[in-house]
A and B are shown apart, each in its own frame.
Chain A
Amino acid sequence: MKSRIIGSAFAAALIIFAGYAALYIAPVDMRQGQIYRIFFFHLAAWVSTFTALTIVFVSNISYLATRRQRWDSLGVAAAEVGVACCTIGLITGPLWAKPVWGIWWTWDARLTTTFLMWLLYVSYLMLRGLMEDPRRRATLSAVFGIFAFLDVPLVYMSNRLFPTQHPQPVFFGGPNSGVDPTMAKVIVLCMIAVLVIMIPVLIDRYKVEGMRAEVEELRQEVELRTSQPAGTHLDAPARTVNVKEVL
């Protein structure tokens, strides 16, 4: 509990400092003025999205290779965090686009593949709600998750392959890319800050999956006991979910 409080205080301090750095320390952009400051948390949200979706991909492959329920739990937890970060990116993007481009949205390669990525991972989460059998659910969502991940490198490469409305990459984008050194430091700080607050949420979401399995197991035990006549003992109640395996 004490370490949790210290961790939360550290995360809060980091976020406040990152916010201050993004608003006051980073210099004003020559072309865009103050509005470019959206960039610091827009990019940080995308870095968290790609990190979370890579965790989903690794978890999906690991589940299919080992059939361990914990990989499925990690996969769904990371997918939900990924969708939350992607939603932040999809909201901040148009809010930046309107004053700079004059439009909220356009169906260019980067924006379209990104919106598709969001839809794919929302579908991944919805698909899981349609299946009750835990093993079937885990297998099908792992296969779907691997398929969905095909769009992630496509999003990353889209504005390099099809340069249209969305700006060219600021980092790793060739000889004309790059930012002011102070801006670069603030960007790194914002990325770390967003990751620091997203990791505890990912851990909590992972715990939710473990507790769901425990509830399922306890419910089955209660049902078995209530279905037995009074006075009889249960030697080995049937269990379909192994909680220790989930956590």
Chain B
Amino acid sequence: MKDFQFLFSAWIAVWAVFFVYEVTVARRLSKLRGEIDRLKQQLREG
């Protein structure tokens, strides 16, 4: 039974690291897209 706890923990760790990393990359992309749109708007108005 204890083996299954380690096995389960390892699987959770794999997906947690992958998911957290994927989310941070997606957030960076979205933030930069927003920043590009804002700066382009500023240039158009400007």
Binding site for B on A (CB under 8 A): 19, 33-35, 37-38, 41-42, 45, 80, 84, 87-88, 91-92, 95-96, 98-99, 197, 201, 204-205, 207-208, 211-212, 214-215, 218-219, 221-222, 225
CA distance A218 to B40 in the complex (A): 7
B29 touching A211 by the CB < 8 A rule? yes
Within the complex, which residue of A41, A84, A208, A222 is in contact with B28, where a contact is CB–CB below 8 Å?
Answer: A208
Contacting residues of chain B (13-33) with chain A, CB-CB under 8 angstroms: 13-14, 17-18, 21-22, 25-26, 28-29, 32-33
B residues near A (Cβ < 8 Å) are 2-4, 6-7, 9-11, 13-14, 17-18, 21-22, 25-26, 28-29, 32-33, 35-36, 39-40, 42-43, 46
Counting residue pairs across A and B whose Cβ atoms lie within 8 Å, the total is 81
Chain A residue numbers with a CB within 8 Å of B42 are 222
With the chains together, A88 CA to B12 CA distance in Å? 10
Q: Are B43 and A91 in contact (CB under 8 A)?
A: no
A91 — which chain B residues lie within 8 A by C-beta? 10, 13-14, 17
Once the chains bind, are B10 and A38 in contact (CB under 8 Å)?
Answer: yes
Tell me if B10 and A34 are in contact (CB < 8 A). no
Q: Which residues of B contact A201 (CB under 8 A)?
A: 21-22, 25
Which residues does chain B contribute within 8 Å of A212, judged by CB atoms?
32
Q: Which residues of A contact B32 (CB under 8 A)?
A: 208, 211-212, 214-215
CB distance from A217 to the nearest CB of B (A): 9
Q: Which of chain A's residues have a CB closer than 8 A to the CB of B26?
A: 204
Verify A96–B6 contact, CB threshold 8 A: yes
Select one of B3, B14, B39, B46 contacting A215, CB under 8 A: B39
Contact A84 B17 (CB under 8 A): yes
Whole-angstrom distance between the Cβ of B30 and the nearest chain A Cβ: 10
Contact across chains for B3 and A208 when beta carbons are under 8 A apart: no
Residues of A within 8 A of B43 (CB): 218, 221-222, 225
Cα distance A208–B35 in the bound complex, in angstroms:
12
> A92 with B29: in contact, given A218-B39, A221-B43 (CB under 8 Å)?
no
Interface majority SS on B: helix, strand, loop or mixed? helix
* Chain B residues within 8 Å of A88, by CB: 13-14, 17-18
Given A88-B13, A197-B18, A201-B22: A215 and B36 interface contact (C-beta under 8 Å): yes
Q: A91-B10, A218-B40 are in contact. List 13 more A-B contacts (CB 8 A).
A: A34-B3, A35-B6, A35-B7, A37-B7, A80-B21, A88-B18, A92-B13, A96-B6, A99-B2, A201-B25, A204-B26, A205-B25, A221-B39
Chain B residues positioned under 8 Å from A33 (CB to CB): 3
**Closest B residue by C-beta to A221:** B43
Which residues of A are found within 8 Å of B40, using beta-carbon distances?
218
Chain A residues with CB under 8 Å of B2's CB are 99
Contact A215 B17 (CB under 8 A): no
